[in-house]
Structure 1
Amino acid sequence: MPYEWSPPAVGSKVARLDLWPYRSLPRRGFAGFMALTAAMISLPLFPLLGTALLWGLLPFLALAVAGLWWALKRSYASGRVHEALTIDAEAIHLTRTDPRGEVREWDCNSYWAQVDMYPTGGPVPHYLTLRGAGREVEIGAFLSEDERKALYSELLRELSRARATR
Structure 2
Amino acid sequence: MQAEPIFAATLTPHNALSATGLRNVMIVFAGLAALPSLIFFQLGAWPILGFMGLDILLVWWALSASRRAGRRFEEVTLWSDALEIRQVSAAGAENHERFNPFYVRLVIERDYDERTTALRLRTRERELEIGAFLNPEDKASFAKVFGSALRKARG
Question: One fold, TM greater than 0.5?
Answer: yes
In structure 2, the gaps of 5 or more residues are none
Opposite residue 75 of structure 1, the aligned amino acid is: S
Deviation at 1:107, TM superposition (A): 0.6
* CA-to-aligned-CA distance 1:18-65 (integer Å, 9 cap, x gap): 01111222222101000000111112344467x472633211111110
2:100 is the alignment partner of 1:109: yes
2:73 is the alignment partner of 1:82: yes
- Between the aligned partners of 2:5 and 2:89, the Cα distance in structure 1 is 28
Question: Comparing both chains, which one has the higher relative contact order based on Cα–Cα distances under 8 Å and sequence gaps of 6 or more?
Answer: 2
2:32 is the alignment partner of 1:40: yes
Kept in 2: contact 1:108–1:133 (CA 8 A): no
Q: TM-score, normalised by structure 1?
A: 0.79
Q: TM-score, normalised by structure 2?
A: 0.84
- Between the aligned partners of 2:50 and 2:38, the Cα distance in structure 1 is 15
Aligned equivalent of 1:155: 146
Kept in 2: contact 1:120–1:127 (CA 8 A): no
- Between the aligned partners of 1:12 and 1:46, the Cα distance in structure 2 is 63
Once structures 1 and 2 are overlaid, which stretch shifts more, 146-155 or 52-61?
Answer: 52-61
- Between the aligned partners of 1:156 and 1:15, the Cα distance in structure 2 is 10
Written as runs of structure 1 = structure 2, the 5 A alignment for 1:93-132 is 93-120=84-111, 126-132=117-123
Opposite residue 127 of structure 1, the aligned amino acid is: A
- Match for 1:71 among 57, 62, 65? 62
Opposite residue 100 of structure 2, the aligned amino acid is: N
- Between the aligned partners of 2:109 and 2:50, the Cα distance in structure 1 is 49
Figure out how many residues of one structure are paired with residues of the other and give that number. Answer: 151
- Match for 2:20 among 24, 28, 43? 28
Identity %: 25
In structure 1, the gaps of 5 or more residues are 1-10
Opposite residue 28 of structure 1, the aligned amino acid is: T
The 3 A distance-change label for structure 1 pair 67 and 29 is same
